[in-house]
Amino acid sequence: MKKTMDENVLKENFLELNKIYLNSGIPLETLERVVKKKSTTIYWFSLVISAAILLISILYEYDILNSVRYILIYAKGVRCIVPNNYFVWEATRQISNCSFCINVSSPIILHNASKEEFLPYAYSSKPIVIKNAFNHWPAMKVFDFNFFKDLYYNNEEAYRSVDEECQFLHFKSDFTSLRDVFSMHKDRISNKPGKKSWYVGWGNCHPQILNKMRQYYPKPHFLPEDCEMPSKEYVFMGYGAGATMHLDFISRLMWQAQIKGEKMWHVRPAPECEQLCKNLSFSVDPGDAVLLDTRVWYHGTTIIPGQFSLSIQSEYG
Ligand SMILES: O=C(O)CCC(=O)C(=O)O
Ligand SMILES: [Fe+2]
């Protein structure tokens, strides 16, 4: 019934339009020209959109976007914007099937788990907190802002490695490199009232730096014996707003050691899983381990007001 009515309305409108055209005296060639021009625009628009979709699919399939990202990182001047280009990463990420987050309403909490106790969870994508996992690490007593400042002191090659091979993440802070962080005024370092709060993260992949850091902690004892680990460890430190919400485009699962301060983790499923899964928030204390598949869970952090947070992070798989 509805269809017949719609068809009648359409027919009436068409006849009316036809009448208006005939009364206007506009020649047929003019009408043809106008219609052709319109459809040519639509044709080019569709062609450009299809080509863009095809190009993104090819770049994604062959991992060319990632290669371009790395080429740009090496190209002088562009590295500040490109490593944090979450827009490109977001536009090319795979749509999730949500199995990793269904029925997850809080992290799995383990207590100083051994290798055997951790093994059943080791390769799952469920968020895990291991309480008091790192209390025995010398790093718990030794690592602070000045430890890392001294580690990089006068080591131009090490600074260059952060800029060119590792990665510097400034989040909401106004720094452009690790050098800026270590030349901060002492009042800002300790977040004195009236000083701008700051939070940063950076990759340490210079062999000399990494060797010195690793004198204060071993490979996390609960990780599987045969798991692969990269030659890079990150440090995240600072106050307040912490890390902004993001996904990591890395090839393995993430482990993190909370060394100083109490930190809140805010973890969300991908937008396509919002109806099926929950957002989580949980806190970690010094000595705790966090294990999270940061490739599928969006994550951000905030630091408990008045506290200085410092963590070591890397990957395993
Ligand atoms: O510790 C933080 O503040 C953020 C860490 C993070 O983004 C990560 O471990 O992937
Ligand atoms: Fe991350």
DSSP string, 151-187: HHTT-HHHHHHHHHTS-EE-TTSS-SSHHHHHTS-HH
Instruction: Say whether both 310 and 203 belong to one domain.
Output: yes
Q: Which of 293, 121, 134, 297 is nearest to 224 (CA)?
A: 121
- The answer on 116 and 57 residing in a single domain is no
Please say whether the beta carbons of 229 and 253 come within 8 A: no
Q: What is the dihedral of CA 248, 270, 109, 121, to 10 degrees?
A: -70
Both 135 and 226 in a single domain?
yes
Does 86 reside within a domain?
no
CB contact at 8 A, 312 and 260: no
Output the CA 172–ligand 1 centroid distance in Å. Answer: 14
- Same domain flag for 48 and 158: no
∠ CA 276-280-281 to the nearest 5 degrees? Answer: 170
Residue recorded with tokens 């009648």? 8
CATH code for position 286: 2.60.120.650
Sheet arrangement for strand 233-238? 108-111, 128-131, 289-292, 253-260, 309-316, 233-238, 199-204, 168-169
Residue 72 covered by a domain: no
- Asked if residue 76 is part of any domain, the answer here is no
Q: Which residues pair with 316 in a beta bridge?
A: 253
Assess whether 44 and 110 both reside in one domain.
Answer: no
Please name which of 301, 306, 298, 127 lies closest in space to residue 200, comparing C-alpha atoms.
301
- Bridge partners, 101 (sequence order): none
Quote the number of domains for the chain: 2
Is residue 228 domain-shared with residue 157, that is, in the same domain? yes
From first to last of its 317 residues, the chain has per-residue pLDDT tens of 344 445 555 556 655 665 665 566 665 556 555 545 555 555 666 666 666 656 655 554 444 443 344 334 333 333 333 345 566 767 777 788 899 999 999 999 999 999 999 999 999 999 999 999 999 999 999 999 999 999 999 999 999 999 999 999 999 999 999 999 999 999 999 999 999 999 999 999 999 999 999 999 999 999 999 999 999 999 999 999 999 999 999 999 999 999 999 999 999 999 999 999 999 999 999 999 999 999 999 999 999 999 999 999 999 99
Give 141's contacts (C-beta < 8 A, 6+ positions apart).
none
Please give the DSSP secondary-structure letter assigned to residue 177.
S
Within-domain flag for 88 = no
**Closest residue to atom 1 of ligand 1, CA basis:** 236
Q: Which domain holds residue 30?
A: 2-61
- Ligand 1 site residues (CB inside 6 A) read 236, 242-243, 248, 254, 256, 294, 299, 301, 311, 313
CA of 97 relative to ligand 1 center, distance in Å = 24
On whether residue 87 sits in a domain, the answer given is: no
Q: How many CB atoms lie within 10 A of CB 212?
A: 15
Write out the residues surrounding ion ligand 2, Cβ under 5 A: 248, 294
What is the spatial distance between Cα 314 and Cα 317, in angstroms, rounded to a whole number? 11
Residue 142 within any structural domain of the chain: yes
**Domain-embedded: residue 82:** no
Q: Which of 167, 173, 294, 310 to mutate to test the pocket of ligand 1 (most atoms within 8 A of CB)?
A: 294
- Closest ligand to the CA of 234: 1
Contact 131, 288 (CB under 8 A): yes
- On whether both 55 and 114 belong to a single domain, the answer is no
Dist. CA 231 → ligand 2 center (Å):
17
| Residue 52, pLDDT score | 63
Q: Are residue 115 and residue 228 in the same domain, yes or no?
A: yes
Ligand 1 pocket check: which of 247, 301, 303, 314 to mutate, most ligand atoms within 8 Å of Cβ? 301
51 and 146 assigned to the same domain: no
Q: How far apart are CA 282 and CA 285, in angstroms?
A: 10
Ligand 2 midpoint to CA 256 (Å): 10
Same domain, 267 and 162: yes
